[in-house]
């Protein structure tokens, strides 16, 4: 490939997509995608850090691929790696351009390169935990426009804002970066942060925990995430980061500070879901994410050590009839056990707590399934604020759907690897995980995809040459668990 004679400088902290977009503009092309097509690589692939596309672009601009490493935003479809920090795609703002108008103005006024192509997209502008420009101490702006064909094309999207730039500058809102925002910027820059406990967590988990803790401090344990504005989350992140500045000890002290509510007479006050409120629910909703495992473990430990046991007649039933305390069960991965007899009450219905135990799930998750119309309810129990669950409806649900945690257990595959494989095959969850508390798949769909799943996992050659979907499922389970044929598996083979 011939090296381009017209190039632009790559700036520290700039994304590779921005660098490519500006290079395309410098060479007179209308978009980065048109530019990439001319040179024989994919701009989408480049934006996702695909090696072959990065190498081809590097050759065109006369650089070694390794020199572009700091600018890479690598994606596997589920997670992205930004400046060496791995985080879920939901923590990146890519659909709309985020920018600081003061940075854009200074870039064009005094930056290197040809006028009109000097402004560049910063890595920090992508990360949703950062809402303030660390240089100018003003609120980052988000473009009102979005077009799929311009995704990641910085120069094209900035062009939409140029006529509005004087107004953006005039209406710029001064705000000081919070401690959390400064911390996230430092981690992206590779600077030493010296924050025990938070430094041991993935960056996004440290940031998310700070926001949750701050929201509890500002709005109470029953804060409503959907009612929180971006300004609320920013302020909450700063508050929570301050509370966590003492490390794990600070987090434990924060949890214990919520415990006096147990003496308020609130129904079920000794239940962690009641004591910790939305923090507990949020941890349940991300139960499949190992980044929060240490956080959940601390909540379990503090609950067991400091929360009083509730009586069977007041508050939720915390025991399982075997003398053991099960208050931490809801913070474990919600997976379903083998179908067992349903402990119905006198009315022939199941309480939410009993249904949760059968599913090895949580009460909030069961209620979420009810609210979405996925679990059949019987008449409400007398004097109960929660619905009663129809046992037959619960059995049907458990035989029809399987959670990602249970499927991971059956296959003996980590949830992250399994999720990546299923995404690659185009297998979509049966429901929106944000609405029902965890990811569920239709068992019939999993059965249909078992052969393809084996190939995706590199196990196709070890599978039988022929057989039914059920036989393939059992074979894949055996291979993953390294159990000999004929050995009874602990998993439930779908019917």
Which tens digits make up the pLDDT trace of 43-67? 999 999 999 999 999 999 999 999 9
42 and 186 together in one domain: no
pLDDT of residue 7: 93
Closest CA to 151 of 57, 26, 17, 25: 17
158 and 280 together in one domain: no
Q: Are 15 and 126 in contact (CB under 8 A)?
A: yes
pLDDT of residue 308: 67
Rounded distance between C-alpha atoms, residue 464 and residue 477, angstroms = 13
Which of 312, 330, 348 is the last residue before a domain boundary?
Answer: 330
The pLDDT tens digits for 112-141 are 778 889 999 999 999 999 999 999 999 999
User: What's the token pair of residue 196?
Assistant: 């025990």
308 and 418 together in one domain: no
Percent pLDDT > 90 in the chain is 48
215 and 296 together in one domain: yes
pLDDT of residue 28: 95
Q: What is the pTM of this model?
A: 0.64
Residue 462 falls within a domain, yes or no? yes
Residue 5 falls within a domain, yes or no? no
For all residues of the chain together, what is the average pLDDT? Answer: 79
260 and 189 together in one domain: yes
28 and 152 together in one domain: yes
357 pLDDT higher than 80: no
Residue 482 falls within a domain, yes or no? yes
Average pLDDT over residues 254-259: 93
User: What's the token pair of residue 410?
Assistant: 């059956």
CA atoms within 13 A on the CB side of 316: 29
Rounded distance between C-alpha atoms, residue 486 and residue 28, angstroms = 66
373 and 345 together in one domain: yes
Residue 461 falls within a domain, yes or no? yes
Rounded distance between C-alpha atoms, residue 290 and residue 405, angstroms = 12
pLDDT of residue 110: 87
pLDDT of residue 360: 66
Which of 274, 295, 330 is the last residue before a domain boundary?
Answer: 330
How many domains does one find in the chain? 3
Residue 473 falls within a domain, yes or no? yes
Q: Are 57 and 37 in contact (CB under 8 A)?
A: no
340 and 440 together in one domain: yes
316 pLDDT higher than 50: no
Closest CA to 160 of 148, 178, 177, 147: 147
376 and 405 together in one domain: yes
Which of 291, 306, 330 is the last residue before a domain boundary?
Answer: 330
Domain that holds residue 145: 16-128+140-170
146 pLDDT higher than 70: yes
By the 10 Å C-beta count (0-12 exposed, 13-18 middle, 19+ buried), 55 is classed as middle
Closest CA to 77 of 488, 437, 422, 344: 422
pLDDT of residue 207: 97
Residue 4 falls within a domain, yes or no? no
183 and 114 together in one domain: no
SS in 3 state form for 244-277? HHHCHHHHHHHHHHCHHHHHHCCCCCCCHHHHCC
Q: 340 falls in which pLDDT band (50, 70, 90)?
A: very low
Residue 253 falls within a domain, yes or no? yes
Residue 264 falls within a domain, yes or no? yes
402 and 458 together in one domain: yes
302 and 451 together in one domain: no
């Amino acid at each position: 490939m011939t090296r381009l004679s017209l190039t632009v400088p790559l700036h520290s902290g700039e994304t590779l997509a921005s660098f490519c977009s500006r290079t395309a503009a410098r060479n007179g092309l209308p978009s980065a995608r048109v530019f990439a097509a001319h040179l024989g690589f994919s701009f989408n692939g480049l934006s996702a850090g695909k090696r072959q596309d990065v190498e081809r672009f590097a050759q065109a601009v006369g650089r070694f691929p390794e020199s572009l490493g700091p600018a890479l935003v690598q994606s596997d479809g589920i997670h992205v790696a930004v400046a060496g920090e791995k985080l879920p795609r939901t923590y990146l703002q890519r659909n709309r351009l985020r920018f600081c108008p003061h940075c854009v103005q200074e870039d064009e006024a005094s930056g290197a390169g040809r006028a009109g192509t000097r402004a560049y997209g910063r890595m920090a502008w992508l990360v949703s935990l950062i809402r303030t420009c660390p240089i100018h101490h003003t609120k980052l702006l988000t473009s009102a426009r979005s077009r799929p064909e311009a995704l990641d094309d910085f120069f094209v999207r900035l062009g939409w804002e140029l006529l509005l730039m004087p107004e953006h500058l005039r209406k710029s809102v001064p705000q000081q970066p919070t401690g959390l925002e400064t911390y996230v910027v430092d981690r992206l820059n590779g600077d030493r942060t010296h924050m025990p406990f938070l430094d041991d967590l993935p960056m996004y988990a440290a940031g998310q925990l700070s926001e949750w803790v701050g929201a509890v401090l500002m709005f109470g344990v029953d804060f409503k995430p959907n009612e929180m504005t971006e300004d609320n989350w920013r302020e909450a992140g700063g508050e929570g980061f301050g509370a966590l500045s003492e490390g794990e000890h600070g987090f434990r002290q924060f949890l214990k500070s919520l415990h006096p509510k147990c003496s308020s007479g609130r129904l079920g006050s000794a239940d962690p879901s009641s004591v910790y409120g939305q923090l507990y629910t949020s941890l349940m909703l991300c139960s499949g994410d190992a980044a929060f495992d240490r956080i959940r473990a601390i909540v379990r430990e503090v609950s067991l050590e400091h929360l009083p046991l509730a009586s069977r007649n007041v508050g939720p039933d915390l025991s399982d009839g075997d003398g053991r305390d099960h208050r931490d069960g809801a913070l474990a991965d919600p997976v379903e056990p083998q179908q067992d007899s349903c402990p119905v009450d006198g009315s022939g219905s199941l309480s939410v707590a009993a249904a949760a135990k059968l599913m090895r799930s949580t009460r909030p998750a069961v209620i979420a399934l009810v609210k979405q119309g996925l679990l059949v309810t019987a008449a409400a129990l007398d004097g109960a604020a929660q619905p009663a669950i129809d046992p037959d409806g619960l059995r049907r649900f458990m035989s029809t759907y399987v959670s990602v945690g249970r499927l991971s257990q059956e296959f003996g595959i980590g949830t992250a690897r399994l999720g990546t494989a299923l995404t690659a095959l185009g297998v979509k969850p049966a429901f929106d995980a944000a609405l029902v508390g965890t990811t569920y798949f239709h068992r019939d769909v999993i059965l249909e995809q078992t052969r393809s799943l084996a190939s995706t996992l590199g196990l196709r050659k070890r599978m039988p040459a022929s057989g039914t979907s059920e036989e393939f499922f059992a074979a894949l389970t055996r291979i993953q668990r390294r159990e000999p044929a004929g050995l009874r598996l602990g998993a439930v083979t779908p019917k």
